[in-house]
């Protein structure tokens, strides 16, 4: 499977209103389900240009946007600087080196990145390892979509996820208080019609 060129897409990533709206919807639900606090150090996995990162930043002490695209991280850095957000860091972190994290975090969040990870279950186990005791994860991604959401399959390793399977995998990894809600809806043209896809948010504590 070809790797998607996120570096090439970074400059114009935020130009799609639907993408920005979905990030805002995910943030609003995440903020309701998770108790962010000013003393927290948070990691945003697969942060892209930081649409979620920068929404969370004012609520926490520090947040690090992690991504495998250097250009996405450059856009995030520029946006954070322009908004005088000095509590935002970036981390180049490739899914091929899942355990190469520098420290543990109070919480790990992610939006629409899990389906780009070949071994999503291994990543969940890494999240458990790198969340501090009493910390949390909050992951938003697509429900099962029959392969219809992504017209370009480059870099897509999962056609959405089963909520039940993810629930069981989080419990198996050691997480507690696992909870699932719907975070957003995305309308996209499919064949001759428009189809609505749903995005879940799964949260859990260590």
Per-residue pLDDT tens digits for 92-139? 987 666 667 889 999 999 998 898 888 899 999 999 999 999 999 999
Domain-located, residue 69: yes
The pairs formed by 181-190 with CB atoms below 8 angstroms and a separation of 24 or more are 181/29, 181/33, 182/29, 183/25, 183/26, 183/29, 183/30, 183/140, 184/22, 184/25, 184/26, 184/29, 184/140, 185/25, 186/18, 186/22, 186/149, 187/18, 188/149, 190/148
Residue 201 within any structural domain of the chain: yes
Evaluate whether 175 touches 128 at the Cβ level (below 8 Å): yes
**For residue 48, what are the domain limits?**
6-205
User: How many folded domains does the chain comprise?
Assistant: 1
**Is 27's pLDDT higher than 80?**
yes
CATH number at 83 reads: 3.40.50.150
Residues facing residue 190 across a β-bridge: 193
- Does 97 map to a domain? yes
Q: Is residue 52 part of a domain?
A: yes
Higher-pLDDT residue of 53, 17: 53
Structure confidence at residue 1 (pLDDT) = 41
The string over 43-62, giving b where at least 16 C-beta atoms fall within 10 Å of a residue's C-beta and e elsewhere, is bbbbbbbbbbbbbbbebbeb
Count of positions (residues) in the chain: 206
Q: Is residue 1 part of a domain?
A: no
- Quick check: is 67 in a domain? yes
Q: Is the pLDDT of residue 51 over 80?
A: yes
Instruction: Give the pLDDT of residue 163.
Output: 95
Question: Are residues 140 and 110 in contact, defined by beta-carbon separation less than 8 angstroms?
Answer: yes
| Residue 140 parent element (H or E) | strand 131-142
Mean pLDDT throughout 160-174? Answer: 95
Is residue 189 situated within a structural domain? Answer: yes
Q: What percent of the chain has pLDDT over 70?
A: 90
- Interacting residues of 194 by C-beta distance below 8 A, sequence separation 6+: 187, 188
- Specify the 3-state DSSP secondary structure of 55: helix
34 belongs to a structural domain: yes
For the chain, how big is the Rg over CA atoms in Å? 16
pLDDT at 4 over 80: no
Q: What is the pLDDT of residue 50?
A: 93
| CA gap 170, 124 in Å, rounded | 7
Half-sphere exposure of 26 (CA within 13 A, CB side): 32
């Amino acid at each position: 499977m070809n790797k998607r060129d996120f570096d090439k897409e970074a400059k114009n990533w935020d130009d799609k209103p639907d993408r920005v709206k979905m990030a805002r919807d995910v943030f609003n639900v995440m903020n309701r389900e998770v108790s962010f606090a000013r003393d927290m150090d948070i990691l945003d996995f697969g942060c892209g240009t930081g649409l979620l990162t920068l929404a969370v930043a004012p609520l926490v002490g520090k947040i690090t946007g992690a991504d495998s695209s250097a250009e996405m991280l450059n856009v995030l850095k520029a946006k954070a600087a322009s908004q005088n957000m000095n509590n935002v860091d970036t981390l180049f972190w490739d899914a091929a080196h899942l355990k190469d994290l520098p420290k543990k975090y109070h919480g790990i969040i992610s939006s629409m990145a899990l389906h780009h990870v070949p071994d999503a279950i291994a990543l969940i186990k890494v999240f458990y390892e790198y969340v501090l005791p009493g910390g949390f994860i909050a992951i938003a991604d697509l429900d099962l979509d029959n392969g219809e959401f992504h017209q370009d399959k480059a870099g897509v390793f999962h056609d959405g996820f089963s909520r039940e399977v993810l629930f069981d995998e989080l419990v198996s990894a050691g997480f507690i208080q696992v909870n699932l809600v719907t975070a957003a809806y995305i309308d996209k043209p499919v064949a001759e019609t428009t189809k609505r896809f749903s995005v879940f948010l799964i949260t859990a504590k260590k």
